[in-house]
Structure 1
């Protein structure tokens, strides 16, 4: 029997689900129409199939916008009857994170990907020209596969996709869902993981997904070029899109590093986590593809490699998505999603585009253009090709090691993933080896010309710059401590410095009239500076919160943290830490975040305060455990990074089930103090206590006592006290009240001094009063355990990333302007050819 559930808002979800089905159907119709316009209507200027494909794609765009509006509506209004809203949001979630909740779950991520790809498709419809039909066939097919991931329907007993409009009662079991009023028991959602509550998560995922989506465009051009046997023509229009994909995806990855650095507490910006690795698979191969595409465009060499790298980049986008979303990395990555039952659907997505790539490369291998003449060893294109090969090998290493869980599943192995320290060392050493080769090649290529270079001049110039780079590297190594690191890191530093200097020369030449060369030089300089910053910051970071007390805290703490690198700081008790005196001054709550005020002071030899600043690291209570986010003091040449690893100062209101009645709260409060000690004092007398002293300054008669009205015969007196503790001064005024014949006292707390003060008696015969002092027990004193790290020269990493993006932008404009120029390969006789591979004369 159907149950009439109360309070549900079903219309929004029904409309949203309608738009999901419409997006899938319209993408499928667009794909088929563009396919037939490419095959059946080939050569026709006006194609009805093409028109249908366009209008179907317009419908796809509108349906995706409709899905987004409906999903945002149910998120914003906290409709917890929907599983997506309940799983990823809560009423306490700040408004700014309501936006990021849209893509917090897998379904939202697919929708974001769909949205960006739809906008790119619209752009291509108006700009692709004669490439529209074959290119849009591929883009529409990608939309079909993506839309299937959010369908959330069951066909022949098989689940197809996961819908963001799935109802909570349809996704979970329990007796509560048999009640018509089940929503009255669901007061809030599960909320967002604390580490995701960061402004970078508002901009990082959209940028990353735009990068993923943009790679479909060069992939589509390469597919269209082989499919239509227009082997050379697709290269020029594909290069700007490939550069755009490199720029956006690279920016998204760096934003992820920013987020990890500012929000996570592992102490760094890159941990070689499998999901982090997966995000750079397609970036590495696409950067390699761009270089080989340029090589082919200028010389006619390396066509197969250029095409293969372009195609594999989009296949790796799907493989990365599989790793992240299938649940297969659940035991090796803290960032991966759990399996939503789409494991084989994700595998199918990878296989579809891999099959297209393999089929076209094999089918057209014999008819692809080749050159009669081998490349000159002393030519720029040769070493650009070699550099791209090493980028591919770097990616291959990451794929092999990151995919250990996949190999275990396929071959029934039981290879255990390495521990964090071993994993970091392995990746750092191997990838640094690739860095040495790649950076040197990006520099060597700048001293070479296309076709052929004078060997003697090249050798002299290269030798001078290599020697200069070695001198600079030696200075950097000894100044920063890099010389104490693994020799591979020093070589990587040498290669990076060499790349900066060599490309700096090229940039200087660009300003002398070769401005079109500026983009590549700027991008290479930015990339090399990123590596310099990463090598120094990661290799010479220094933990300054050294614990020399032998305190191990707890056994559970030692499992996750190194007690030697964490110090215990009591509230308002300054503690020496390296060159600083640190003081935990207090805390504040801005729900759901709990901020800790940590003051740093550096005193010079003369006793003067050279630095004085405050950091606010924060924590959240997340399912019974602390989720910590650091705060960082930024200098020009280093960062000081601080995060909380343990505390006893989380307030009861932040703990689940912590509400207590007033009596119980008072009793618990008294238990946290030592036995009360009364003191008889006159005005001006001093009372000493364990961590300071206080002075009775004066007695104030007739003070108001909260909202209690006083009669003529009532007496109220306040004892004005000045308290000095740990160099800080506080004031408090406990009150003594005689009302209607009864005697009352109203205590005052001085939390920062750990005191509770009572004006407990007036002694007129001695002209004194009694002040009772309660001191907080040592075990009840608020404290934090914190870890502090310095990261030298990390601004080279952040600054280099910005410079690299600027270089990509300059290169995009350059290649866009070149699109009207006939490629060299075409000028020199490369033809489409059928039946055998056609040679390209380089005479």
Structure 2
């Protein structure tokens, strides 16, 4: 502990900072050693190679140790560290402590470095003859990631941001000059309420594994150019490219599920710049995978495959710059704030971009570029065209998302689209039409040559059937009411599913090789079908025709006509449902509102009933932060979230910390009742029965002595067809009478057991009721999302398809390597 500042625990921070420096130094050593091992032609080759491995192993241990130190600090609430104070709190459950790891930039950089370390060790194990050049690139990337965590200033320029900076070093203020300043730091700032969701425990690790895995195909491409092994790197890199596409795509979809489950904008995709930034490299690597397959089968499009693989990783780094530099601060609510690392991030991008440009220019004349054009009626030609359109889609996203960057570079004042969702929807849907049609058409083509007559007949039949089925779906769901381009996307998506289903049917005839791509394409088509119907035809169920507007502030963020007010225990009709807000529960810091949904037929019979529990937090910085609850059906979802509620933050205890007298003011004047066991008391919204007198009751932390007595009045309360139990307590202790009231918030009651009348065998009970004017209420919005399960099931199917493709490509690679080793052995035997 520091003697100048009482209570500080400096050891974990010092250890963490030591491991950051060690991680940086060992990664740099590994990169340099692997570089010389790759380029060396003398006996030092093995020494450099050994040193490269040792450096990377030390880096891996260092990265894991950084994480352990940071976890220790956060878990033990050491708020003398800025990262723990800024992103955690004592009230945070353990599973959300994990989320606080990556809420800040420093934690997310660590997560990225961790996954890259794991992948680097995998390459040491699996890359074989590719290890030296591939690990040179991965170790260089690891060096730059470690530099993001150093957190020092050099010649006035900030190098990275350390998660082990002390609070008094990060924030200025007179309190930090006091040796006992920690006695005033009672709690941390806490985790952003929107991140307190189980999806945020698994979404960022998946997303950052996707980002990290993009370095592997990139490293193979660099290695192939560097060592002039132009044709060999593509089959070796293809399984890793498929893995990166699968994991990053899964991470993106997890993010959309988090948005759907936790955010209250009413959907799963909002074209936020940070969302766009994650999609940009995914699109180019998807295109790269398809062109790599083309090259493997035909020898065509080598440069395109190489360029797309290289640019995918550069775009990952550019996406990191967009989200971390603070440049998107005015256009995105999800971007990180600027930590003074803008130029550091720019340099990271430029280093890898420069390596790509140099190698392509230096090797240009040697590249195996075919001069013969592909046949028009060949699969490789149309797969190439599809890749071009994916690239154009990526170009549009990059161009528009980067408007703040253009303004920064050129000093302009370009404005982003005024209606970004509409802008992106229409333009990206145009690309989707072409991509879906090509995804289907290419299934009826063969590599190199195709029987054109058979191709046209098959394509026409499937297109016609897709148009008929699509037209039916468009009419039934109402998509025709939207922009016409969405109808074309629907037909294209159905065409993709049907044409690939035909290919999948051929699998059962023995053509197993095509199974993975067919399954992945079917999943992709279903994702589009689900997204189009769910997002395009979702409808607001909570139509407000009362004329209540909820105030000007409410109207700034929500449409009053799409939000209804529910008073507690007062049923109203809403879109075919009888809806009742009937209760609350608090699990700090969340306040859950219990909303009962009923469907009642003409005879008055309840045909369906369920309860949803949307929750809100009264956050000091963000106001009311709400998360929805959703009723999932097979063919639609009913989504509910609270937009207004009279709740206060930090609800502690039953009466919020107020005295009993203060709390009485929240109720009408009490009504006294003298009753015996079995008697009934009626109140405004129900009745209660005194079931028994409990002479064995006790009050927590108040011990009873010989002559002391505590009696509980056990009531069963019925209100609005719901039953509650309550037991107010009357106590005589040391000759003095006390009573302990019991509140039944869901029934708007407070009961006080005020007297025992032994001669009449009765008791006196006071009943407090909440006045109508103070009756609890919520304002909520309910949305119906039809057929959204197509979206989620399509994701699962697409991932399965990618896994099948990865297994296939790995098997092919093993066979190829075995054949090469066998050939090499034969050559050696012949020489011997």
Q: Which residue number corresponds to residue 593 of structure 1?
A: 590
Partner SS, residue 213 of structure 1:
helix
Q: Shift of the alpha carbon at 1:266?
A: 0.9
| Equivalent residue runs for 1:530-569 within 5 Å | 530-569=527-566
Give CA deviations for 1:514-544 in whole Å, capped at 9, x if unaligned. 1011011011011111111111110111111
Give CA deviations for 1:487-512 in whole Å, capped at 9, x if unaligned. 11110000000000000000111221
2: CA distance, partners of 1:640 / 1:216: 41
2: CA distance, partners of 1:486 / 1:56: 57
2: CA distance, partners of 1:631 / 1:15: 43
2: CA distance, partners of 1:740 / 1:654: 30
Is 2:18 aligned against 1:23? no
Is 2:90 aligned against 1:96? no
TM-score (norm 1): 0.90
Is 2:214 aligned against 1:219? no
5+ unaligned residues in a row in structure 2: which ranges? 821-832
2: CA distance, partners of 1:822 / 1:58: 30
Greater CA drift, 260-269 or 122-131: 122-131
2: CA distance, partners of 1:381 / 1:701: 83
Is 2:475 aligned against 1:475? no
Is 2:750 aligned against 1:752? no
Q: Is the 8 A contact 1:544 1:789 kept in 2?
A: yes
| Equivalent residue runs for 1:249-264 within 5 Å | 249-264=248-263
Partner SS, residue 618 of structure 2:
strand
1: CA distance, partners of 2:730 / 2:77: 49
Residue 813 of structure 1, aligned match among 799, 807, 819: 807
Name the CA shift for 1:684/1:321 in 2 (closer, same or farther; >3 Å).
Answer: closer
Q: Over aligned residues, Cα RMSD in angstroms?
A: 3.1
Give CA deviations for 1:759-783 in whole Å, capped at 9, x if unaligned. 7899999999987654322231111
| Equivalent residue runs for 1:193-212 within 5 Å | 193-212=192-211
| Equivalent residue runs for 1:643-792 within 5 Å | 643-650=641-648, 653=651, 660=657, 662=659, 665-667=660-662, 669-676=663-670, 690-692=684-686, 694=687, 724-729=718-723, 749-756=743-750, 774-792=768-786
| Equivalent residue runs for 1:366-445 within 5 Å | 366-419=365-418, 422-445=419-442
Is 2:478 aligned against 1:484? no
2: CA distance, partners of 1:757 / 1:206: 50
Q: Shift of the alpha carbon at 1:141?
A: 1.0
| Equivalent residue runs for 1:333-344 within 5 Å | 333-344=332-343
Give CA deviations for 1:59-108 in whole Å, capped at 9, x if unaligned. 11111122112111111111111111111111111011122222221111
Name the CA shift for 1:730/1:297 in 2 (closer, same or farther; >3 Å).
Answer: closer
1: CA distance, partners of 2:737 / 2:107: 64
2: CA distance, partners of 1:732 / 1:177: 49
Q: Which residue number corresponds to residue 787 of structure 2?
A: 793
Q: Shift of the alpha carbon at 1:654?
A: 5.6
Q: Is the 8 A contact 1:41 1:47 kept in 2?
A: no
2: CA distance, partners of 1:738 / 1:317: 71
Q: Which residue number corresponds to residue 579 of structure 1?
A: 576
Name the CA shift for 1:789/1:701 in 2 (closer, same or farther; >3 Å).
Answer: closer
Q: Which residue number corresponds to residue 839 of structure 1?
A: none
5+ unaligned residues in a row in structure 1: which ranges? 827-843
1: CA distance, partners of 2:647 / 2:14: 46
2: CA distance, partners of 1:611 / 1:705: 41
1: CA distance, partners of 2:691 / 2:54: 85
Higher relative contact order (CA 8 A, sep 6+): 1
Give CA deviations for 1:234-283 in whole Å, capped at 9, x if unaligned. 11101111111101111111111111111111111111111011001111
Greater CA drift, 33-42 or 291-300: 33-42
| Equivalent residue runs for 1:272-283 within 5 Å | 272-283=271-282
Give CA deviations for 1:537-568 in whole Å, capped at 9, x if unaligned. 10111111111111111221111111111111
Q: Shift of the alpha carbon at 1:733?
A: 7.3
Name the CA shift for 1:544/1:39 in 2 (closer, same or farther; >3 Å).
Answer: same
2: CA distance, partners of 1:72 / 1:594: 28
Q: Shift of the alpha carbon at 1:221?
A: 1.1
Q: Shift of the alpha carbon at 1:32?
A: 1.2
Is 2:358 aligned against 1:359? yes
2: CA distance, partners of 1:426 / 1:210: 30
2: CA distance, partners of 1:495 / 1:90: 49
Q: Is the 8 A contact 2:507 2:514 kept in 1?
A: yes
Name the CA shift for 1:598/1:363 in 2 (closer, same or farther; >3 Å).
Answer: same
2: CA distance, partners of 1:271 / 1:590: 30
Greater CA drift, 632-641 or 600-609: 600-609
Q: Is the 8 A contact 1:82 1:166 kept in 2?
A: yes
Residue 610 of structure 1, aligned match among 599, 607, 626: 607
Q: Is the 8 A contact 2:230 2:367 kept in 1?
A: yes
Name the CA shift for 1:198/1:735 in 2 (closer, same or farther; >3 Å).
Answer: closer
Q: Which residue number corresponds to residue 619 of structure 2?
A: 622
Name the CA shift for 1:652/1:284 in 2 (closer, same or farther; >3 Å).
Answer: closer
2: CA distance, partners of 1:133 / 1:768: 90
Partner SS, residue 651 of structure 2:
helix
Q: Shift of the alpha carbon at 1:37?
A: 1.9
Name the CA shift for 1:57/1:698 in 2 (closer, same or farther; >3 Å).
Answer: closer
Give CA deviations for 1:194-230 in whole Å, capped at 9, x if unaligned. 1111111111111111111111111111111112222
2: CA distance, partners of 1:572 / 1:360: 71
Partner SS, residue 138 of structure 1:
helix
Is 2:450 aligned against 1:456? no
1: CA distance, partners of 2:807 / 2:738: 80
Partner SS, residue 370 of structure 1:
coil
Give CA deviations for 1:4-31 in whole Å, capped at 9, x if unaligned. 2221111111111111111111111111
Is 2:491 aligned against 1:498? no
1: CA distance, partners of 2:425 / 2:681: 60
Q: Which residue number corresponds to residue 287 of structure 1?
A: 286
2: CA distance, partners of 1:741 / 1:170: 58
Q: Which residue number corresponds to residue 330 of structure 1?
A: 329
Greater CA drift, 397-406 or 715-724: 715-724
Is 2:635 aligned against 1:640? no
Partner SS, residue 198 of structure 1:
coil
Name the CA shift for 1:741/1:83 in 2 (closer, same or farther; >3 Å).
Answer: closer
Name the CA shift for 1:63/1:742 in 2 (closer, same or farther; >3 Å).
Answer: closer
| Equivalent residue runs for 1:518-537 within 5 Å | 518-537=515-534
Q: Is the 8 A contact 2:292 2:305 kept in 1?
A: yes
1: CA distance, partners of 2:754 / 2:345: 73
Q: Is the 8 A contact 2:523 2:793 kept in 1?
A: yes
Equivalenced residue count is: 813
Partner SS, residue 451 of structure 1:
coil
Q: Which residue number corresponds to residue 827 of structure 2?
A: none
Q: Is the 8 A contact 1:292 1:306 kept in 2?
A: yes
Give CA deviations for 1:646-665 in whole Å, capped at 9, x if unaligned. 1124476269xx97552xx5
Partner SS, residue 632 of structure 1:
strand
1: CA distance, partners of 2:67 / 2:728: 58
Partner SS, residue 286 of structure 1:
helix
Q: Which residue number corresponds to residue 299 of structure 1?
A: 298
Q: Which residue number corresponds to residue 823 of structure 2?
A: none
Q: Which residue number corresponds to residue 828 of structure 2?
A: none
Q: Which residue number corresponds to residue 836 of structure 1?
A: none
Give CA deviations for 1:553-602 in whole Å, capped at 9, x if unaligned. 12211111111111111112222111111111211122222222111111
Q: Is the 8 A contact 2:677 2:693 kept in 1?
A: no
1: CA distance, partners of 2:65 / 2:736: 70
1: CA distance, partners of 2:468 / 2:142: 53
1: CA distance, partners of 2:163 / 2:484: 51
